[in-house]
Amino acid sequence: MLAGLARRASTGLAVVAGVVTLTFFLLRLAPGDPVALLVGPAATPAQIAAQRRVLELDRPLAVQYGAWLGRFARGEWGTSIATGRPVLALLAEAVPATLELVGLSLLLSYLLGVAVGAVQATAHRRVDTALSVATVTLFAVPGYWLGLMLVMVFTYWARALPAFGRAGLDSDFLSGGAWLADRLRHLVLPLTTLTLIGIGGAARFVRGAMLDVVGQPFVRTALAKGLAPFRVAQRHVARNALIPVVVLLGLSVPTLFSGAVFVEFVFAWPGVGRRLVEAVLARDYPVVMAATAVSAILVVVGNLVADALVGWIDPRIRHQTEAM
């Protein structure tokens, strides 16, 4: 199994290299000049050329890419063009907020999504149809649109929840329960947005996986032998239906991070996604490249974790991997 994971890891590194290479050159070909945005409209051509030299943007693209790749491999992620701060420090400041939002969303999405999917697979057809319409709708709705609708309802109409930021302007003067209540009130809307979308995807996968397993001959045989339906569901249906759900869980981590980009921007949540959008608008190449590389690595790690968990759950898959 370790040999199979090692082969997948090497393939994943190639994927990461391809993503960052494509991003690097497409970013340079996109309209907009970071130097012009940095020095302002009153700058002379000589000042623009001097600043371009300082940022090493006057060199050929292949040379720029080789220099960036070498620095990135050594852990030197560069300096933000827009702020002049180290990229690593900028992302490190934003990571806790993103992990808080995405981690809680992932937990709630799967707890509620698995419950809804299990109900769909075992409930009456009308209940299944109603829940299917709801889950498909949630899965298809863009995150930024759902976020804006929640802001309209709960912030502007009901005036019940704040819409922007991770904490209130007076949070530095709060402590104890008041501080926690303020943080939770600011967390509700962005967390609800990501969780509702996640529930839709998880419930659809759980429903399909359980229906596929319920129709298998070994389940019918177990029921025909007189085993209790609950025991059959627990030992046979749930364990086998868990395999595609675990795969989805591994792939949901990068998906949630990418979905959180626009949700963070809509709610002014101080996470990696908001920093990435701001960097794209400012043509801040080092920040965009670092965030893209981290996202690509996250996709590979998510796939590797999913492969390892599936092999642990189903020994047949583990043996097939070792034989390859």
Dihedral-angle region of residue 226 (phi above 0 means left; psi in -120 to 50 means alpha; beta otherwise) = left
**What is the chain's Cα-based Rg?**
24
pLDDT in tens, the chain (324 residues): 566 667 777 877 888 888 888 888 888 887 777 887 777 777 788 888 888 888 888 888 888 888 888 888 888 888 888 888 888 888 888 888 888 888 899 889 888 888 888 788 777 788 888 888 888 888 888 888 899 999 999 999 998 888 888 887 777 777 778 888 888 898 999 999 989 988 888 888 888 777 777 777 777 777 777 777 667 766 667 667 766 777 677 667 766 777 788 888 889 888 888 888 888 888 888 888 888 887 777 777 767 776 776 666 655 555 454 544
Contacts of 254 (CB under 8 A, 6+ apart): 295, 298, 299, 302
pLDDT computed for residue 154 by the predictor: 92
Angle, vertex CA 140, rays to CA 139 and CA 143, nearest 5: 85
Contacts of 41 (CB under 8 A, 6+ apart): none
Neighbours of 251 (CB within 10 A): 16
Q: Where are the domains of the chain?
A: 2-31+77-323
Contacts of 190 (CB under 8 A, 6+ apart): 101, 147, 263, 264, 266, 267, 269
Dihedral-angle region of residue 159 (phi above 0 means left; psi in -120 to 50 means alpha; beta otherwise) = left
Q: In Å, how far are 146, 154, 228, 242 from 234, measured between CA atoms?
A: 36, 40, 10, 11
Partner residues linked to 165 by β-bridges: none
C-beta separation of 257 from 94 below 8 A: no
pLDDT computed for residue 150 by the predictor: 92
86 by DSSP, 3-state: which?
strand
* CATH number at 2-31+77-323: 1.10.3720.10
pLDDT computed for residue 323 by the predictor: 47
